[in-house]
Structure 1
Amino acid sequence: MASITNELAAILTTVRRPGDFFASGLIELLAPQLEVDGVGQIALPLLPTQAKQLVAAAERAPFGRGQQTLVDTAVRRTWQIGPNQVRIQGRGWARTLSAILTCVCDGLGVAEPVQAEFYKLLLYDEGSFFASHRDTEKAPGMFATLVVVLPSASTGGELLVRHKDREVRLDLHGPDPSEVAFAAFYADCVHEVLPITSGFRLALIYNLLRPGPGRRPEPPSYANQQAQLAALLQAWSADLSLSNVDAPEKLIFPLEHAYTPAELGFGALKGADAAAAAVLKAAAQAADCDLHLALISVQESGSAEYTGYTSSYRRWSEPDEDEFEEIEVLDRYIALSTWQRPDGQPSVLGEIPVGDDELCPPDALDDLEPDEEHFHEATGNEGASFERTYRRAALVLWPRQRFFAVLCQAGLAVTLPYLADLTERWLSSGEDHTSLLWREAHELCGHMISSWHGQERYPAREKAPSHATEMLILLIQLMDKTRLEAFLATIAAGSGLFAEGDNDAIVQALGLLRPRLAAALSQQIVAGNAATSLMVCGNLLARLAASGGPGRGGDLRGAATALIEALPGDPQHAPAQGPWWQDRSVKSRFVLDLLEALCRIDPQLAEHAVGHMLTWPQTYKLDAVLVPAMRDLNRSTIAREPAVAPLRDACLAHLRTRIAKPLAPPHDWSRASVLPCQCRHCADLSRFLADPERRAWAFKAVEAERSHVEQTIQRAHCDVDVSTDRRGRPYTLVCTKNQASYDRRAKQRSKDLEDVIHLGGGDHS
């Protein structure tokens, strides 16, 4: 089906003439001066009194049968007044009639000049009708009839028009007295007027003529193209139903004319665009496809070069954009938006990306003139660049059965609310899993799960629930265990598809599955994500253990073993740094979650994990990770578990060793003087630090040298306060010694003493 895009475009490009066998509408009325012999000036809207006067001045309208003209109220019951008795004047009416003819010509697909010849004035009273018939040629060059219904109050009287195997029902009531309703149809159409049920209808009848020699206009017929398109779309739909066929999910036919978002609509299409839309609409309906109108936006960016010549007088001026030239397109993004349906109803679709294989033809967007284009000068290490945007309207269609697949291309921001609505309606209906609503939700879930990778971006960095929680909650409400299993397997595939805030929903979902299946999925989720989302997996394991295990008693040892196997160890052999959103660092809360989970699942696994952490102190730092974890763990019921004792002992030994170190304030002004820099200014700083007599040092130097010395003080954590004396030039960096090292150690000792007590090591005050 790779050629479908070319085939569809080739067929549609032969459809150049818009129009149909009928045209109708409403238009603003610039009221005519209407005068009838024997009645006088006619007021509009028509008054009942004048309607009766018109009846008195009229005659029964006849109809033709072969060469005869007959009057038979069983076939036609209405009143007519001939053109020689009617005068229609006023410049306003000429403009109104001209506007009507423009609409009619567009609707009938007539490009040649058309004349409207007034034929008669018809008055329909209650019970009036006209049975099914065809109009005869009433004047040379006549090809169609135009009916203009002037403002008058009536009900009923719909106009039925048939052409070949099609029929339309036109309501010619103008809801507003300032508007006039009209309808036109080709002369070979069979038509009838249904009975007027109340009131009066006043209508002007015109013969539409094409003057001069030549063939008369006929309704455009694209029956062959419509049949070809329908067959093509049916074959495409059948191929898409086969999962092993590589066919485009949707077809996009860009239109010729430009349309703004405000004017985009099927009724506003022009020329060949309107013709293509009409034919494609009929073919799509026959092939059970959905047709939409949308705007394509193409955004491109890339490298450029400056081609202008800089003269001395322009040296400091900004270059013009026409002095740049594109070199290469580096990034291109195409998307559809501003969706319009043929019936005018709102669409749930949002922005949907476009694949190059979906354009009809594939080069449809080549050689377009950009709507916006901007060039940017080179800055720093970046060369000159450009950005530009193209916009085109397009007809978009897909098989109706593939709607959910297309909907998923709009992303989770669209599909999740849609699924939530389906779920809510199913729950409210009280129906079971055989209902249409549930089956639609089940199908949509399948498409969402299969496309989930790539939609959920960087959730592992978040603690709040991600889209995964919304999906799980909806699946739980639907009690769709098949999709639950599939979605949990998708999460298990890794790439950080869930956040810590999703763990409650995952635990709840696993609880609905069979214990053995839930245990296996738990292990897969941990094994698939621990390398990139260690904290999240530790928290999940702790929640599962606290809940009693997955699936009401499922074994968590597999998941626990997978997490232990993923524990980081030797920092020299740590994996390369991953994407910025992946957090592989070890934090105290992870140790707390891990030990609480392992002590509940299997104490031997807890012993193994503790031994691993004590083996790699550079990864599991005592002060940053283990001591805070043990302090929090001491509040837990597992604090006295034998498996945890070696970790507590190691923390206590570390704290007591530091507490035992002598602590006294400095007795003179000498301070630690080993510095990372040996330049002459830093050598002066080192001598100042080592001097037991000097408390302050004034360093008068230019800004760069002052800044360098200040940075050395910061990097070496020197016991020095700095300030800048701005009197004179250059300024002076004033360095004053303090006892920050002693203060830090005193504060640390106080905290160490508190930690020893919290860890159960006794009072060392």
Structure 2
Amino acid sequence: MVKPAARDRLAAVLTREFGEPPFAVVEQADPALLDVEVDGAGRLKYPVTAAQARKLCALGTPARYGRGERTLTDASVRDTWEVPRTAVHLSWSPLFDKVLDRMRKGLGLPGSARLRAELHSLLVYEPGQFFLPHQDSEKHDAMVGTLAVTLPSRHSGGELVITQGGRSETCSGSASRLALCAFYADCRHEVRPVKSGYRIAVTFNLLLDGGAPQASGADTVNEAARLLGTHFATPSSAYSWGKASPPKRLVYLLDHEYTERGLSWNRLKGADADRAALLRTAAEQAGCQVMLAGTKIKETWDTYPEDSDYEDWDDEGWEDGEDDDRDSDGDGDGDGDGDGDGDGDGDHELNDLIERTTTLSCWVDPETGKRESISLEVGEDEVCSRTSTADFEPYEQQYEGYMGNYGNTLDRWYRRAAVVVFPDSLAFANRAEAAPAWAMRQVAERARSGNVAGARADAASLEPFWTATVSPDLRGGVFGPALKAAHAVDDPTVAAMLLAPFRSEDLLAKHAAPLSRLAKRYGGAWLGRILGTWCAGSQGEVYGYTSESRDWYSALPVLCTSLTASGRDGTAASRALLQAAWQRLAATAAPRLASPPSRRAAGLEDLGAPLAAVIAAAANMAATTTGDVIAAHLAGLGDEALPWLLSGLRSFSTVHSDSTVHGEAPGDRLSADVAADCGRRLTRRLARPARAANDWSITLPEGCSCPLCEVLADFLADPTLRIREWPLAKENRRHVHSRIEAAELPVDHQTRREGRPYTLILAKKDTLFSGERAQRAEDEADLRWILAVWPSAAVASTSAT
């Protein structure tokens, strides 16, 4: 028999010590406990009469309910009258404090805590009215539950039913007694339809004041501490393809839900408080630290619809399944959740759990008490609990039917609180993995305090997971602190590791100063390698270029200028940055230059601003060598590059106009060279004679040279032929179609489906003439603009003729 893992044995100890957690307390009390007076209806007499109840209904409005961030009115979900709170006046008997204290004990809350009741609403249910199963929102940071007080009246039905984890409590009204029910806010509850008479209820938010309980029982604490030590010393075999290593943390899931606002050691519910207190004491004894966290859990289940022909399998073989009643909320949609969206698991039968992911989404800083948003996925070998997550109600779920290769599947999302434990030696690594920006600030702060060696050691401990932790969506917030931390550790190897996850897209003009400091500390060659790696990125990033990833080019001139001004090392780094930025831009432009004409111009014009930034950076640095490389590369491109070059020049003259004087760019040979090259290209194109009115010749771009393409090329080149009828088999027609469409030639190609083989009809379009006229006018305008801004380009243009 395999011995349970230490984490599961620890969960069993916590269950043994504190048993089944309470979730609701139901009792009856003397009506003298609560006196109620309502403006417009007077003082309520017990039992409340039908006449007085009708007055309350007349004062009320249809009660609303919350769904997500919306507040809705829907009588199919909640059908009851709510009396304005300002019209309700209450007076409690002095005995009420004792009642609240009994409820505190019944709910398992610490003896050091105190419950307060805050009025929420006065509700009246007339015959037929109800409230489907739902969960209360925590309306106050200190709110832990709800108190519902049903006033004495002669009615039937209208039972308040509270459920959690498969258990339920029912609170029924009375004609002579107050019916009180206190329950935790994360419990699902419903009000069954009233059959006769009127149900009148006053509801309160239960607020908790006071501290967390203290752990008791030295033997139990010692046992828990030993199990924690075993957990952190035992290599995990959860992932057989990797080297087994001990877990870095233990995540104990609590039995109640908590909002991020309400996540506090002092407001844990029921047995959660006792278990957390025991874990905290045991962790301290075992040399560990503890965090209170919120988690998001996603489970993916293999399912099949309820009405499918699948049968249930048991140990004896196949047997007929039975229908079960899943429409517990009576709304007819079968989901049992009362929200009427029909997306509950009641529409599907859960089969096998395919996958579960647990992510820490926030935790409470033990030093400041503040909640921090984090994102850290934890392994299954690090998680344990008393109650299975499947016993909870998901806050969201989504079904996906059979898709051919997978399905049917049901995704379910849950929120649970957790106590997170980790050894003191791994405290910094755990917090860094969850909050990398915090880690970088801590490293820099520790170095500033004089402990550079300690800061360096903390930073070095991050190496095994650092690159994976700083995901693309986190880089922007971590980059600035990482630059400071890299400088603070005073070690080129550790600093390079800290900066490895980043990319050139993270660069902004404000980063010029910290980059200059890094150049001075570690040298220009070191920083140049870092910058080159950032610019190169992955192959997918280069060719997955988007408008978002080009923004960093705008900071390039400032970055290069600032680095150059910082001295020799900064100059070396700036040249490496410029060279890497240009190489990346050229690689990005290459597939666009080869794209079809209809997409080419727009794609290349989008790269104009980055090209202008590269030109400006080269000019500001007087980087003649790199400038010559760029100019030579651009000059070697075909005329298909003109939209890119012209867009770059226009952006340069607009965005970087400070460097131009009277249309010239002193000291900027690169922009002048690019302008001259464009002038030559445009002049050559304009020097060609305009197409004659009867010239229908078209040049087929180079490519395939098969016999079909030779015939096609001859037809296109003939200045007199406009139409050709060409009997061709299907595959041959398809090949001709593809050549015409790929080159986007002004040729219509249709198939006449008569005879065998069918006939392909090619017809040259009039757009051959209108398109060339429009292009010629555009070339003339572009040339005039270039000569106005770069007069020196006129010499090159003259030589081109």
- The two structures have a TM-score, normalised by structure 2, of 0.48
> What is the CA distance between 1:551 and its match in structure 2?
4.4
User: Which residue number corresponds to residue 575 of structure 2?
Assistant: 560
Q: Within 1, Cα distance between the matches of 2:584 and 2:105?
A: 77
Q: Within 2, Cα distance between the matches of 1:309 and 1:239?
A: 46
What is the letter of the counterpart of residue 793 of structure 2?
Answer: G
> Residues 357-395 of structure 1, C-alpha deviation per residue, up to 9 Å, x if partnerless?
22137x974765663654344579985432213444433
User: Which residue number corresponds to residue 626 of structure 1?
Assistant: 645
> Aligned residues, how many?
521
What is the letter of the counterpart of residue 628 of structure 2?
Answer: E
> Residues 147-185 of structure 1, C-alpha deviation per residue, up to 9 Å, x if partnerless?
xxxxxxxxxxxxxxxxxxxxxxxxxxxxxxxxxxxxxxx
User: Which residue number corresponds to residue 499 of structure 1?
Assistant: 505
Distance 1:604 1:370, change over 3 A: same
> What is the CA distance between 1:643 and its match in structure 2?
7.1
Q: Within 2, Cα distance between the matches of 1:263 and 1:389?
A: 20
User: Which residue number corresponds to residue 281 of structure 2?
Assistant: 282
Contact residue 537 and residue 563 of structure 1 kept, 8 A = no
> What is the CA distance between 1:623 and its match in structure 2?
0.3
Determine if the alignment matches structure 1 residue 656 to structure 2 residue 683: yes
Q: Map 1:585-604 onto structure 2 (within 5 A).
A: 587-598=607-618, 600=621, 602-604=623-625
Choose the corresponding residue for 1:434, options 442, 446, 449. Answer: 449
Determine if the alignment matches structure 1 residue 223 to structure 2 residue 222: no
Q: 3-state DSSP class of the match of 2:448? A: coil
Q: Within 1, Cα distance between the matches of 2:105 and 2:523?
A: 67
Q: Map 1:135-284 onto structure 2 (within 5 A).
A: 222-230=217-225, 233=228, 246-255=245-254, 257-259=255-257, 261=259, 273-284=272-283
Q: Within 2, Cα distance between the matches of 1:421 and 1:529?
A: 24
Q: Map 1:100-115 onto structure 2 (within 5 A).
A: 100=101
> What is the CA distance between 1:611 and its match in structure 2?
3.0
> What is the CA distance between 1:294 and its match in structure 2?
4.3
What is the letter of the counterpart of residue 606 of structure 1?
Answer: G
Q: Within 2, Cα distance between the matches of 1:548 and 1:562?
A: 10
> Residues 436-486 of structure 1, C-alpha deviation per residue, up to 9 Å, x if partnerless?
9x99999987788986534555579xxxx932554268x39xx96327967
> Residues 97-133 of structure 1, C-alpha deviation per residue, up to 9 Å, x if partnerless?
57656656887999xxxxxxxxxxxxxxxxxxxxxxx
Determine if the alignment matches structure 1 residue 741 to structure 2 residue 741: no
Contact residue 456 and residue 491 of structure 2 kept, 8 A = no
User: Which residue number corresponds to residue 357 of structure 1?
Assistant: 381
User: Which residue number corresponds to residue 308 of structure 2?
Assistant: 308
Distance 1:319 1:253, change over 3 A: closer
Q: Within 2, Cα distance between the matches of 1:406 and 1:588?
A: 44
- Report the more deviating stretch, 381-390 or 750-759: 381-390
Choose the corresponding residue for 2:627, options 590, 602, 606. Answer: 606
Distance 1:536 1:519, change over 3 A: farther
Distance 1:271 1:374, change over 3 A: same
Q: 3-state DSSP class of the match of 2:530? A: helix
Distance 1:238 1:258, change over 3 A: closer
What is the letter of the counterpart of residue 747 of structure 1?
Answer: A
- Report the more deviating stretch, 554-563 or 351-360: 554-563
User: Which residue number corresponds to residue 750 of structure 1?
Assistant: 780
Distance 1:348 1:439, change over 3 A: farther
> What is the CA distance between 1:237 and its match in structure 2?
8.2
> What is the CA distance between 1:9 and its match in structure 2?
3.1
Q: Within 2, Cα distance between the matches of 1:668 and 1:593?
A: 46
User: Which residue number corresponds to residue 526 of structure 1?
Assistant: 531
Q: 3-state DSSP class of the match of 1:567? A: helix
Q: Within 1, Cα distance between the matches of 2:450 and 2:561?
A: 37
User: Which residue number corresponds to residue 5 of structure 1?
Assistant: 7
Q: Within 2, Cα distance between the matches of 1:515 and 1:633?
A: 31
Distance 1:613 1:263, change over 3 A: closer
Q: Map 1:680-691 onto structure 2 (within 5 A).
A: none
5+ residue gaps in structure 2? Answer: 22-28, 34-91, 112-213, 236-242, 311-333, 335-341, 543-549, 593-602, 702-711, 724-736, 749-763
> What is the CA distance between 1:597 and its match in structure 2?
4.4
Distance 1:550 1:386, change over 3 A: farther
Q: 3-state DSSP class of the match of 2:564? A: coil
Q: 3-state DSSP class of the match of 1:549? A: helix
> Residues 575-600 of structure 1, C-alpha deviation per residue, up to 9 Å, x if partnerless?
99xxxxxx999934444444554563
> What is the CA distance between 1:660 and its match in structure 2?
0.5
Q: Within 2, Cα distance between the matches of 1:108 and 1:329?
A: 34
Distance 1:105 1:300, change over 3 A: closer
Q: Within 2, Cα distance between the matches of 1:650 and 1:457?
A: 42
Determine if the alignment matches structure 1 residue 333 to structure 2 residue 367: no
Q: Within 1, Cα distance between the matches of 2:366 and 2:508?
A: 44
What is the letter of the counterpart of residue 223 of structure 2?
Answer: Q
> What is the CA distance between 1:525 and its match in structure 2?
2.4
User: Which residue number corresponds to residue 17 of structure 2?
Assistant: 15
Determine if the alignment matches structure 1 residue 511 to structure 2 residue 516: yes
> Residues 657-691 of structure 1, C-alpha deviation per residue, up to 9 Å, x if partnerless?
11102237x7589898999xxxxxxx9xx99xx99
Q: Within 2, Cα distance between the matches of 1:756 and 1:106?
A: 81
Q: Within 2, Cα distance between the matches of 1:557 and 1:229?
A: 58
Contact residue 376 and residue 385 of structure 1 kept, 8 A = yes
Q: Within 2, Cα distance between the matches of 1:444 and 1:659?
A: 66
Q: 3-state DSSP class of the match of 1:663? A: coil
Distance 1:101 1:493, change over 3 A: closer
Contact residue 376 and residue 384 of structure 1 kept, 8 A = yes
> What is the CA distance between 1:303 and its match in structure 2?
5.8
> What is the CA distance between 1:349 and its match in structure 2?
4.9
> What is the CA distance between 1:233 and its match in structure 2?
4.9
Q: Within 1, Cα distance between the matches of 2:433 and 2:560?
A: 38
What is the letter of the counterpart of residue 515 of structure 1?
Answer: K
User: Which residue number corresponds to residue 139 of structure 2?
Assistant: none
Distance 1:716 1:302, change over 3 A: farther
Q: Within 2, Cα distance between the matches of 1:498 and 1:587?
A: 16
Q: Within 1, Cα distance between the matches of 2:586 and 2:105?
A: 82
* Root-mean-square deviation (Å): 6.5
> What is the CA distance between 1:604 and its match in structure 2?
3.4
Q: 3-state DSSP class of the match of 1:511? A: helix
Contact residue 252 and residue 358 of structure 1 kept, 8 A = yes
5+ residue gaps in structure 1? Answer: 20-27, 33-90, 111-218, 311-316, 577-582, 676-682, 695-708, 721-734
Distance 1:489 1:281, change over 3 A: closer
Choose the corresponding residue for 1:347, options 368, 371, 391. Answer: 371
Distance 1:452 1:503, change over 3 A: farther
Contact residue 541 and residue 559 of structure 1 kept, 8 A = no
Q: Within 2, Cα distance between the matches of 1:560 and 1:434?
A: 35
Determine if the alignment matches structure 1 residue 489 to structure 2 residue 491: no
Distance 1:236 1:435, change over 3 A: farther
Q: Within 1, Cα distance between the matches of 2:684 and 2:296?
A: 67
What is the letter of the counterpart of residue 744 of structure 1?
Answer: A
Q: Within 2, Cα distance between the matches of 1:485 and 1:652?
A: 48
Contact residue 631 and residue 755 of structure 1 kept, 8 A = no
Distance 1:667 1:308, change over 3 A: same
What is the letter of the counterpart of residue 16 of structure 1?
Answer: F
